[in-house]
Amino acid sequence: MSALELADWRPVGGGSICRVWRADTVDGRAVIVKKAPYDVAVEADGLAALAHAGAPVPGVLAAEGDRLVLEAVGGPPDWDALGEAVAHTHAVTASAYGWHRDNLIGELVQPNAWHADWPAFFYAQRIAPFLDVPGLPGDLRTRLQRAGSGPLARLLPARPPASLIHGDLWAGNVVEGRWLIDPAVNYADRELELAFAALFGGLPPAFWQAYQRVWPLPAGWRERRPALQLYHLLVHVAHFGSGWAGGVADRLDALGW
């Protein structure tokens, strides 16, 4: 950060977590500066992994403490290209599920301990850490615990490809219809990524058509999707309160759990 000389700082919208400015370097390049309530090394790590896989992400120019400097990106929307790029990113795989460090999903710690079994990882790292969050009724906690004792393992495949995923893919983390930002990367079943992307809508048909053209989803994805959406719904309960618990109940009801 100290090696970059920046001028003409202008505040821009940065969501509810970070403060964000647009600025210029002394040689005229436009950059984005984020001030975060966390160590930005975790975000820089995720962006670097996605960039190495060929995903369209802004370049990291500096990462120091709570300040992250990114290249400013733009251009016309290209949802078709983004769908293809996400599919190709998912084709980068590991031998297990997890990541080399815990990172963040929003403001929350996202645990990423390695597991060789996908249902075991999903329950231990994506469901169990959120069972005690304020706003989750006790009956839903019990139902989720019961799901982890058997139903999840019967529904989810044991060893689907452990794909590199963005981890927080929704329309709010896509810039100009072509660039990915704010990752929560890990290796997981790619269906988890797409289940969240479908949760709120916002990604147009061109994205989905392009993704399916490159790497079609396997049979049974519709039946598995409600279970996989439980994770991000629990994250929303933790972030925003009990108003999101109804979505958890709806998915459990749909699954007969």
10-residue averages of pLDDT along the chain (257 residues): 72 79 89 92 98 98 94 95 99 99 96 99 99 97 97 98 98 96 98 97 96 99 99 98 98 98
pLDDT value at residue 4: 76
What pLDDT does residue 14 have? 61
Assigned token pair, 4: 């970059």
Residue 13: per-residue pLDDT: 73
For residue 25, the model assigns a pLDDT of 87
CA distance 228 to 161: 15
pLDDT value, residue 150: 96
Rounded (to 5) percent helix, strand, coil in the chain:
45, 20, 35
Catalytic residue among 168, 182, 250, 253: 168
Pick the CATH number of 79-255 from 3.30.1640.10, 3.40.50.300, 2.60.120.920, 3.90.1200.10: 3.90.1200.10
pLDDT the model gives residue 160:
99
Domain ranges of the chain: 6-71, 79-255
Cα separation, 257 vs 232, whole angstroms: 18
Active site residue 139: no
> What does the pLDDT read at residue 1?
45
- In degrees and rounded to multiples of 5, residue 29 shows phi and psi of -80, 140
CATH T-level topology, domain 6-71: Phosphorylase Kinase; domain 1 (3.30.200)
- Looking at the DSSP bridge assignments, the partners of residue 62 are 69
